[in-house]
Amino acid sequence: METIALKAIALIGTLFASFVGGYLPLWYQQQQRGQAWLTRGHFFAKGIFLGAAILHLLPAANDEFSTAFPDSHYPIMGLVALLTIFLLQAIEHLSMTILGRFSTLSHHITVYILIFTLSIHSLIEGAALGIGAGLAEMSVILIAVLAHKGADAFALVINLQ
């Protein structure tokens, strides 16, 4: 029964974190010094994503790769992460160059891509919370989800403006 209570708390907590994270850019926009706070918040959200990737995902990927291929001593996962960053920057640069002439179209496409990717991300998070077997496992996942859910919503709303 305690896992059902934690799942209910997770539902309410993620909704609240998303609401607060999504409302803050709208509130800051109405303030006089709001643009400076929006810029800081945007970089904070990017820092959370980068920190999660470097501190959590990359070490786990290195461990899994070294388990699957014990003879490889080159940091393949670091190379993949670096190439992914360069590829995403190239795609962003090309899309802004090509679609830059159609600024409204470019903005709408970017917004729909963000909504789509964050929707998939949220489904995966929900599935991870839903299949958590033990209370400790679910608590760790819940803390991780709540730590960045507000930043996700913050980044999305900033890009919607």
pLDDT tens, residue by residue, 30-56: 766 666 766 777 677 677 767 767 777
The overall pTM is greater than 0.75: no
By the 8 A CB rule, do 45 and 155 touch? yes
Helix, coil or strand: residue 73? coil
What average pLDDT does the structure give for the chain?
76
- Those residues whose C-beta lies under 8 Å from the C-beta of residue 44, and which sit 6 or more positions away, are 151, 154
Number of C-beta neighbours around residue 70 at 10 A: 8
Residue 43 in tokens: 């970089």
For the segment 49-90, what is each residue's pLDDT rounded down to a tens digit?
A: 677 677 777 887 888 888 888 888 888 888 888 888 788 778
